[in-house]
C-alpha cells in the first residue's frame, strides 16, 4: 500500500510539473500495487479484480501500440474466442435445473425479464439522445443497454443476500432470449445511428453465446455421474435441435449453398457437441475430483478473458475515448445507476419481496459487456461502438460490489430464509 501511494505521489508531481508524458509507469504501478495490497484487507479484497482492470486500462491508454497488434496479428481477433470461452465456463456451471425458477417463481421471472429488456434499452436511448454523442458512440450506449445481464449480476446477488435462485434463472432466460431481443431492440432504437443487420446480429449472438453455453451444458452433463441415460438423451436431442435451428437461420439469411450450410452444421457439432462430450467423459474417467479444480481454472480464465477484452477495446478506441472520455464515463454511470434504481422500483411496484427487488436491480443494472464488445467487433466498429461496453464493465463492478456490500449490511425480514 505504501508503494502504491508512492507511485501516486510521483505521478501527481510529474503531471503538475508539466511532465505528463512520463507518468504512465507510475499511474499503472499505482493500480497494480493497489490491487495487490487490497488482497490483504478483507473488506477490500473483492475490489482487487476491478483495480486490476484499471491497471490494464491505464496501460492500454498510455501504450496502445502494445495492445493492438503483435507482429502481424491483430489482438482484436482474440475477443470472440475469449468470449466463447467465458460463455462455455458459464454453461459448465449451469444445468437445466437453473430454468426451474420459471415454474417456481413465474412472477419474479416475468417482471425481471420485462425490466431487463425495457428499462436499460430505453434509458440508453434517452442518454444517447440527450448527450448528443457521435452516431457510433451513441450506438454503443444503446448496445450495452440492449445486452442481457451477465455473470457478475449473480455474484452481486449472492453477496447482497438477494434471491440467488431467481438471479440465476433471470440471467439464463435473458441470455437465451438475447439472439432475438438484442437485434430487435438495436434495429428499433439504434437503426437511426448505424446500419443494423438483424439476422447477422442474431447469428453472431448465437455463435458467441448460445453455442458455447450449450457446449458447457454438455460438458456439465457428462461430468456428473448422477444423470440418467434418459435425461441425458433428451437434453442432447434438444441441443442438436438448437444447433440445427441456428444453421437453418444461417442458410435462410445468407446466400450460402446447402453444401456450405451442411459443412457449417458439422463444424458446430464437432466444436460445441462432440468435443465437450469427449473431453468431459475423459476427464471424469481420469481424475476423481476434477470438477473442483476445473471450476477454478474456468473462473480464472473468465476473469482474465474479460480483462484482456477490455484492454484490447480500450487500446483500439483510445483516440475516440480521449475525445469523449469523461462525458462517456458520466453517461455510462448514469445508465448503470438508473438500471439499479428503476429495476428496484419496478419490482417494488409489483410488491415483490426485498430480496427479489434487490435481485431484479442487479439483473437490470449489470449488463453483459463482453457480448456487446463482441458484437461491436463483428460490426467492424470496435474502436467506437465498443467504447461504451468497455467502460460499462469495470464501472458496473465498482458500483455493483459497493451496492451489494451495502445491502449485505442491511438484512431483510426474510434474511433467515434459506438462500438457494
Q: Encode pLDDT of 197-228 as tens digits.
A: 999 999 999 999 999 999 999 998 888 777 78
pLDDT at 95: 73
- Same-domain pairing of 121 and 149: yes
Domain membership of residue 231 (yes or no) is yes
- Same-domain pairing of 366 and 226: yes
pLDDT at 398: 81
Domain membership of residue 383 (yes or no) is yes
C-alpha cell at 90: 458459464
pLDDT at 360: 97
- Same-domain pairing of 292 and 365: yes
Report the distance separating Cα 175 and Cα 197, nearest Å. Answer: 20
Report the distance separating Cα 272 and Cα 23, nearest Å. Answer: 46
Report the distance separating Cα 188 and Cα 122, nearest Å. Answer: 11
- Same-domain pairing of 297 and 395: yes
Q: Domain containing 171: what range?
A: 76-408
150 contact partners, CB below 8 Å, separation of at least 6: 171, 366, 367, 368, 369, 370, 371
Contact 53, 397 (CB under 8 A): yes
CA angle at 166 for the pair 354 and 413, rounded to the nearest 5° = 25
Longest dimension (CA), the chain: 72
CA angle at 158 for the pair 331 and 312, rounded to the nearest 5° = 45
Give the CATH number for residue 170. Answer: 1.20.1530.20
- Same-domain pairing of 38 and 118: no
Contacts 24+ apart (CB under 8 A), 126-133: 127/331, 127/334, 127/335, 128/193, 131/327, 131/331, 133/324, 133/327, 133/328, 133/331
**Residues in the chain with pLDDT values less than 50:** 415-420
C-alpha cell at 202: 442474431
140 contact partners, CB below 8 Å, separation of at least 6: 372, 376, 384, 385, 386, 387, 388, 389
C-alpha cell at 327: 462525458
Report the distance separating Cα 302 and Cα 202, nearest Å. Answer: 23
- Same-domain pairing of 63 and 171: no
- Same-domain pairing of 45 and 115: no
- Same-domain pairing of 311 and 328: yes
- Same-domain pairing of 123 and 47: no
How do beta strands 69-70 and 73-74 pair? antiparallel
Domain membership of residue 419 (yes or no) is no
Contact 217, 174 (CB under 8 A): no
- Which of 51, 71, 91 is the last residue before a domain boundary? 71
Report the distance separating Cα 105 and Cα 345, nearest Å. Answer: 19
Contact 187, 196 (CB under 8 A): yes
Domain count within the chain: 2
- Same-domain pairing of 152 and 41: no
User: pLDDT by residue (tens digit) across 74-113?
Assistant: 999 999 999 999 899 888 887 777 777 677 889 999 999 9
* Helix, strand, or coil (residue 44): coil
- Same-domain pairing of 362 and 318: yes
Amino acid at each position: 500500500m505504501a508503494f502504491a501511494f508512492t507511485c501516486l505521489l510521483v505521478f501527481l508531481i510529474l503531471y503538475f510539473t508539466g511532465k505528463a508524458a512520463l507518468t504512465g509507469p507510475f499511474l499503472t504501478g499505482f493500480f497494480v500495487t493497489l490491487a495487490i495490497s487490497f488482497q490483504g484487507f478483507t473488506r477490500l479484497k473483492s475490489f482487487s479484480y476491478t483495480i486490476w482492470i484499471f491497471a490494464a486500462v491505464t496501460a492500454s491508454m498510455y501504450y496502445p501500440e502494445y495492445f493492438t497488434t503483435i507482429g502481424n496479428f491483430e489482438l482484436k481477433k482474440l475477443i470472440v474466442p475469449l468470449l466463447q470461452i467465458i460463455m462455455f465456463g458459464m454453461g459448465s456451471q449451469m444445468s437445466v435445473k437453473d430454468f426451474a425458477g420459471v415454474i417456481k417463481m413465474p412472477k419474479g421471472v416475468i417482471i425481471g425479464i420485462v425490466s431487463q429488456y425495457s428499462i436499460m434499452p430505453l434509458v440508453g436511448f434517452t442518454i444517447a439522445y440527450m448527450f448528443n454523442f457521435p452516431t457510433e458512440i451513441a450506438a454503443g450506449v444503446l448496445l450495452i443497454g440492449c445486452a442481457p445481464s451477465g455473470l457478475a449480476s449473480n455474484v452481486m446477488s449472492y453477496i447482497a443476500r438477494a434471491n440467488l435462485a431467481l438471479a440465476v434463472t433471470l440471467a439464463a432466460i435473458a441470455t437465451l432470449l438475447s439472439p432475438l431481443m438484442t437485434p430487435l431492440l438495436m434495429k428499433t432504437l439504434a437503426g437511426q445511428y448505424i446500419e443494423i443487420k438483424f439476422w447477422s446480429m442474431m447469428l453472431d449472438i448465437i455463435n458467441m453465446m448460445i453455442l458455447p453455453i450449450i457446449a458447457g451444458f454438455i460438458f456439465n452433463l457428462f461430468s456428473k455421474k448422477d444423470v440418467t441415460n434418459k435425461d441425458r438423451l433428451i437434453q442432447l436431442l434438444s441441443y442438436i435441435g438448437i444447433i440445427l435451428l441456428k444453421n437453418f437461420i444461417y442458410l435462410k439469411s445468407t446466400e450460402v449453398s446447402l453444401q456450405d450450410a451442411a459443412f457449417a452444421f458439422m463444424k458446430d457439432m464437432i466444436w460445441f457437441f462432440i468435443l465437450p462430450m469427449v473431453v468431459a467423459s475423459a476427464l471424469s474417467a481420469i481424475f476423481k475430483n476434477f470438477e473442483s479444480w476445473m471450476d477454478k481454472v474456468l473462473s480464472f480464465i473468465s476473469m482474465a478473458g474479460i480483462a484482456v477484452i477490455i484492454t484490447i477495446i480500450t487500446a483500439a478506441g483510445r483516440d475516440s475515448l480521449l475525445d469523449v472520455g469523461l462525458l462517456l464515463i458520466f453517461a455510462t454511470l448514469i445508465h448503470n445507476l438508473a438500471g439499479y434504481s428503476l429495476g428496484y422500483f419496478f419490482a417494488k411496484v409489483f410488491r415483490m419481496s426485498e430480496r427479489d427487488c434487490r435481485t431484479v436491480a442487479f439483473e437490470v443494472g449489470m449488463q453483459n459487456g463482453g457480448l456487446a464488445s463482441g458484437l461491436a467487433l463483428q460490426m467492424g466498429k470496435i474502436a467506437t461502438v465498443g467504447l461504451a461496453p468497455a467502460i460499462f464493465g469495470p464501472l458496473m463492478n465498482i458500483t455493483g460490489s459497493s451496492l451489494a456490500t451495502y445491502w449485505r449490511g442491511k438484512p431483510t425480514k426474510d434474511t433467515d430464509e434459506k438462500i438457494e
